[in-house]
Amino acid sequence: MWARPVLWGVEMDDMDFPTPDAEVESVAPSELKARIDAGEAVTLLDARMGSDYEEWRIDGESVESINVPYFEFLDEEIDEDVLAKIPDDREVTVLCAKGGASEFVAGALKDRGYDVNHLEEGMNGWARIYEAVEVERYEGSGTLLQYQRPSSGCLGYLVYDDGEAAVIDPLRAFTDRYLDDAAELGVDLTYAVDTHVHADHISGVRDLAEEGVEGVVPDAAVDRGVTYADEMTLAEDGDEFRVGDAVIETVYTPGHTSGMTSYLIDGELLATGDGLFVESVARPDLEEGDEGAEDAARQLYETLQERVLSLPDETLIGGAHYSDAAEPAEDGTYTAPIGELREKMAALSMDEDEFVDLILSDMPPRPANHEKIIATNLGQQETDDDEAFELELGPNNCAASKDSLAGD
């Protein structure tokens, strides 16, 4: 498990920092994201503790990221060795967890002649970025969007047609966003669908159900202790849900969890949840731990070979996550045809024993707050909105190691 506090940013941003003498401009997270997406050179000074920085930070091909913890700037006389780490020939954006420490640090640097600004709300603001990108290769009925949360790599899907819509793997933090998007598109949000009991983020299915949307959870996941199953529609293998003329077919795909379920959207894209990603496959240990990981890995192998790779090569795969190792398609979505994944991902062409040995050999740390998140998603624990947001900050770590799974 990666080492970080349960709640990001408590240490630095609950402190009372003096107001800097210099006026410091702020940068909106969306503005910073647009600059990075455009390939602009960006220099970031991350003032969080080194352990937090190592586990979760803003990166990109055009991003230079420097970590100097905020406490190095608390003394009136800042050490020259510290200042030497910070470029003085370009603009530097300072960031922290919530925005308080970064404004102070930026002010201290501006007083010394540096060209600096700071990121509004810090990494918490970065975690509120949520973008919708159209899946252009989708040729089914209606339109398919992929929701992307760059801070954690979470992905979701919105398909809409003829006045109706369904969202797959919604996040609780963005409940209002789905409703607003549906209203703007002039459609009724008919279904909110989960692929499984998530371990890295709080599901938005129950909150959307409270707003009148029909909640759908896999019937196969109920045995894990879902407390609200009688309030939901239970999706069994082969069930179909219609959104206008688009058909969403339920495909049982266990392995990552015993209840893991994918949804084939109008025969064009398989929303695989955490079963298969464009750069990796699922990790098998989050439900039954290390003791049950081998059996789950063998189940995952069977699922991939018989239920996923048996689909036509042109069928798109869209997971519930992407990592830094993932390459977006030309349309900007993290989707790829099955045939392409089979060619580039060595794990998909191995025999069963090789596959199991590989994914068990180098699994990353488990999501830091996965036990609390799972309990919340099962309905066994009440978590308010603020705590829910804090619990899911950071990387998702729901995939097996990316380094060992790709082909040459």
Per the structure block, which two tokens stand in for 53? 């920085």
State the Cα–Cα distance between residues 218 and 224, nearest whole angstrom: 11
Counting DSSP H helices and E strands in the chain, the numbers are: 13, 18
State the Cα–Cα distance between residues 88 and 209, nearest whole angstrom: 52
Per the structure block, which two tokens stand in for 169? 């793997």
Which residue of the set 27, 86, 96, 281 is catalytic? 96
Greatest alpha-carbon span in the chain: 68
State the Cα–Cα distance between residues 321 and 147, nearest whole angstrom: 10
Can 96 be counted among the known catalytic residues? yes
State the Cα–Cα distance between residues 60 and 68, nearest whole angstrom: 19
State the Cα–Cα distance between residues 345 and 406, nearest whole angstrom: 4
Any idea what the Cα angle at residue 318 is, between residues 320 and 1, rounded to 5°? 30
Say which DSSP state 200 is in.
Answer: S
SS3 (DSSP) at 26 = strand
Per the structure block, which two tokens stand in for 54? 């190592």
Total number of residues shown for the chain: 408
* Torsion (CA) 61, 64, 69, 71 in degrees, nearest 10: -150
HSE toward the beta carbon, residue 100, CA cutoff 13 A: 12
Identify which of 283, 273, 251 has the alpha carbon closest to the alpha carbon of residue 319.
273
DSSP assignments along 229-272, one per residue: GGGSEEE-TT-EEEETTEEEEEEE--SSSTT-EEEEETTTEEEE
Identify which of 284, 283, 302 has the alpha carbon closest to the alpha carbon of residue 293.
284
Say which DSSP state 401 is in.
Answer: P
Residues 272 and 318: beta-carbon distance below 8 Å = yes
State the Cα–Cα distance between residues 201 and 204, nearest whole angstrom: 9
Residues 215 and 208: beta-carbon distance below 8 Å = yes
The residues that are catalytic are 96
